[in-house]
Amino acid sequence: MKYGYARVSTVSQDVEAQIQTLESEGCDKVYSEKFTGTKADRPQFVELLSLLKKGDTLVVTKLDRFARSAEDGVNLIKELLSKGIKVHILNMGLVEDTSMGRLILRMLSAIAEFDRDMIVERLAEGKAIAKQNPDFKEGRPKLYNKKQIAHALQLLETHSYKQAEEKTGISKSTLIRAKREIAKEGLNND
């Protein structure tokens, strides 16, 4: 059986053009959804993957319609090929267990590796630039400032962790961590 999958990222986008293209390619059934591609748990796509079996073909207009990244696409295609399922990416070609299909898969793998390398390079460059700033601090920014933490810790003198959390929004684990840091600083100052 030939299945089509169409996806757009936002509700305001129109999926109809993809559906028409997939139907003109002879898809027996087309699944479509308006769902961001960054999520792996797209309901229609998950349902479609559960239906595919040996001998079926999955048709998409472009790789980015069913994969979150080139690497994700390569892994998904490999998984489908191992189950005897063909993948037809309309703007690239049919990927099946043939010489041409393996060539397309190798090219996709190379693109995925290049993409990963570029991301790593951009992150390293961005971090190097950020480190030039004297105020640079590595890691996530703190949600609460020292004054807020001190207030919550003061509440703990007369309230439970749960009560302090309800009043300040600061979690018990954050308060415990703050207590440890204060204790550690007290030991270092002695």
Instruction: Give me the active site residues, please.
Output: 9
Helix axes 146-155, 161-168, angle to 10 degrees: 140
Rounded to 5 degrees, what are φ and ψ at 111?
A: -65, -45
Amino acid at 176: I
**Sequence-separated (6 or more) residues with CB below 8 Å from residue 39:** 68
Distances (CA, A) of 157 to 153, 163, 185: 7, 11, 20
Pick from 64, 60, 73, 53: which is nearest to 25 by CA?
60
Rounded to 5 degrees, what are φ and ψ at 166?
A: -60, -35
**Sequence-separated (6 or more) residues with CB below 8 Å from residue 158:** none
